[in-house]
Structure 1
């Protein structure tokens, strides 16, 4: 459904409810804060579930509801139409412009949430027209993992991989030595675009210009890996989980994948380097993760709004920001707090440059990103499947 039609639908239902005396938020208790998140894997009684409950305001119950990432925004739209939206919802960061355009979320800063000190490059997707519609407590992002054993046998020094040419030289070297090259997720849709962006951005590309030389160079790079036998043909349909499973076979030298795989990589003895830009340096990588939002309520309850703000500030304020990020395995959205995470577990130090260089997918383009992403996905599939 188009964004304008979503807004129209919400307004139409609001009018019908007014005429029919709909109950609005009567389905919710006046002393219950509903908290929606896209982490159904964290069931009742898990560490995350218990942690969220510690932020329950005095005099209120906190009801946590979970949906798969792909379903949460649709369910929020339905709840808004019914006048039964939750007080807090965690929305996937590339979906923030859609949520704002559909009139589903409100200005959390105006509601009283403290946004001081959060990193601009991480918070970008939640700030639209200078209004804070969401607050990211942390992010995940992408890096280039490698198998030290394979690189050693093939005579490749990971420190020598500083640009595309040196990466391709390393891929040729490991495949000539009888090993396999690189796994990545080229699956159709946003997940494949997410993995393509570091290469595109690393060539100084911009999602608003899909006719640039940088765009063609990035398409040629990724499709060339398949053509040259460096990457498996399954990369065209592999999501990030499947691509990681291929890397875990121990047959591949490299894998482009997320920071959420780091602890598994550490156990396997795998290492990580930042994704190199075309001509050297660290490529900008896209931020992943969610924004804490406050859905718009048909019937405003100032006390309930204040209670919801307390929940958000409990999760994002002071020492709790690190605890919240650690619970989900994210890098905290404040640089000084990330430094604490790195001190506690030095394995995160290698990710620091990538996180500092990261950028939001929708920060510059807003709603236009959705169409651009769809075009990139189509072009990427065409390029890879022509090999």
Structure 2
């Protein structure tokens, strides 16, 4: 204990007291050697003599009695789990200071600090000041459409494994990429300083970035267009389908969402008429998260677009094309882990949640 590298300081000092005593030193000398008061030395020598090694540990102390009861803590947590509108408070969400103030007004506690409320909520990982958006499934064919997309990611279609000459592409548009010319040059990071980007900028217009992502080969094909639409999307399709190995492939599946450029059966027929080996597969409504190209667009947003500092649209286009080449040189396929089994579990959980909510509503109406 006295010479261990990981021994706490207090335990190290007490061990030195015992070792000095074992050498026959007096309490006064031990106090001088260790820098302790002589009464402290006498205390630790006595405890070691009576209890041995356990006597060098701190004894249990009663400490200050708790300022708040368990019931008060539970009441504050219950208040945090309610929407402010349900309590008549004109707030959109709770903050710790607001919860502390509300607890005092309701008589839960005479006074409680915001930091105390924050500590209580942290025990149950409650963060009422945060929110997440969500949407109910409205597409009646959600399971079939989503399952078809997930099967393609697993290289199957209609229960049959895809061949080596069949490909899966995920395509979409990233709209309104602006060219914001900052009024002052962007400053690079420095010592104890992050990159600095001037807030004021001039607008240099915007463009759309259309991309098709080969899901299993991590290859991106992109185009920049002044705006989105049927013709720009078909230009992207032509760029991909007129080159190998897609031109001579048995089938090329195009996974798209329900945007106006490629919505419905007309878009599928238009694609098949232009390229007979192309098959359009739509994601369910409000389910663009199933489209893997959205992951690529998030990479583009983080690594290319933000912070937005471009002199003109030509520079935006050049940067996107250069990044596309860089990405294709080093990218690996995304590790997509959401399977049809996960989809079935998600839908079952949503069904149970919906049934529980309907039951609660029925009970409330009956009451």
For the aligned pair, the TM-score class normalised by the smaller chain equals under 0.3
TM-score, normalisation: structure 2: 0.23
TM-score, normalisation: structure 1: 0.22
Question: Rg bigger for which structure?
Answer: 2
Higher relative contact order (Cα pairs below 8 Å, separated by 6+ residues):
1
